């Protein structure tokens, strides 16, 4: 294997996704995840991740690799990468946010949650429901009660757009 020499120099980890795909990454890249870090500290080099599917794991490894090589000079590059990273469908975002939560990668978690929160900010509840396809499971009476309990939150004008 061509990478043997490199493997000898750098400690490597194998991550196994919920779909049983295996990925080899450098330990220094992996330990940005608190979950992986704890396992590595306990001596594991093979890390099964039963809650993370391949599709999300590939993206997250990309993210970790990019952020592991953070220097003073590639700040802009990482910003652009992050911007592209969150520019995806909601279903992908939710998949990623679950994975980031499980893996305890706080900077990624913050970025994803911020991205989702930005779509809620200043919006009317009707717009938020449409944007995220949220099923309202209240009866009309229950809904009126909640609205009354938080009356001040509903005062004023809100953004009705679906952007």
Partner 1 sequence: MKGSDQISKLPEPILQHILSFLVVKDAARTSILSKAWNNAWTSLSYLNFGDKIFRESKDIMDQILATRQKQNISIQNFMLKLPNNRSKDIDDWTKLLVACGFKLELPSNGIKFSSLRDLHLEDSYLDEQFLQVLRASCNCPFDFERIDIAIPNLINLYISSLSRELNVINITACETLQYLNLSDVAVTDQWLQKLLPHLPKLDVFYASLCPLLKTVKISSHRLKYLQIVLCHNLIEVDLDTPNLLGFQSDVRYDAKGFSFIGNYLPTFKTLIKFNHSRAITLSCKSDKWIVIPKDMRNKLISPLYGTKLSVNINNGLNYPVVEVLENLLWISPQLDTLSFGRALNIKTLKFTYRDASDGEDERRRCCASLSWKCWRHELKKVELQNFTFT
CB 33 within 8 A of CB 103: yes
159 lies in the site for partner 1, by CB under 8 A: no
Q: How far is the CB of 137 from partner 1 (least distance, A)?
A: 5
Q: Taking CB under 8 A as the criterion, which residues in 16-75 touch partner 1?
A: none
Q: Are 97 and 89 in contact (CB under 8 A)?
A: no
* Min CB(89)–partner 1 separation in Å: 9
- Of 11, 21, 90, 107, the residue at the interface with partner 1 (CB under 8 A) is 90
Binding segment (CB under 8 A) for partner 1, from list 6-14, 28-36, 75-83, 152-160: 152-160
How would DSSP label each residue in 13-35?
A: EEEE-TTS-EEEEEHHHHTTSHH
CA distances, 127 to each of 115, 130, 134 (Å): 16, 5, 10
Q: How far is the CB of 111 from partner 1 (least distance, A)?
A: 10
């Amino acid at each position: 294997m061509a990478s043997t020499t490199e493997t000898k120099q750098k400690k490597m980890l194998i991550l196994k996704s919920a779909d049983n795909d295996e990925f080899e990454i450098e330990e220094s890249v992996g330990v940005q995840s608190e979950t992986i870090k704890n396992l590595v500290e306990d001596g594991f080099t093979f890390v099964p991740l039963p809650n993370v599917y391949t599709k999300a794991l590939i993206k997250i490894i990309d993210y970790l690799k990019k952020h592991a090589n953070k220097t003073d000079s590639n700040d802009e590059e990482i910003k652009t990468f992050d911007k592209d990273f969150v520019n995806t469908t909601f279903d992908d975002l939710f998949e990623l946010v679950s994975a980031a939560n499980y893996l305890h990668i706080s900077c990624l978690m913050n970025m994803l949650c911020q991205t989702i929160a930005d779509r809620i900010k200043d919006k009317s509840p009707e717009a938020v429901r449409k944007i995220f396809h949220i099923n309202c499971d209240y009866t009309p009476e229950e809904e009126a009660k909640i609205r009354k309990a938080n009356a001040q939150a509903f005062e004023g004008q809100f953004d009705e757009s679906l952007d």
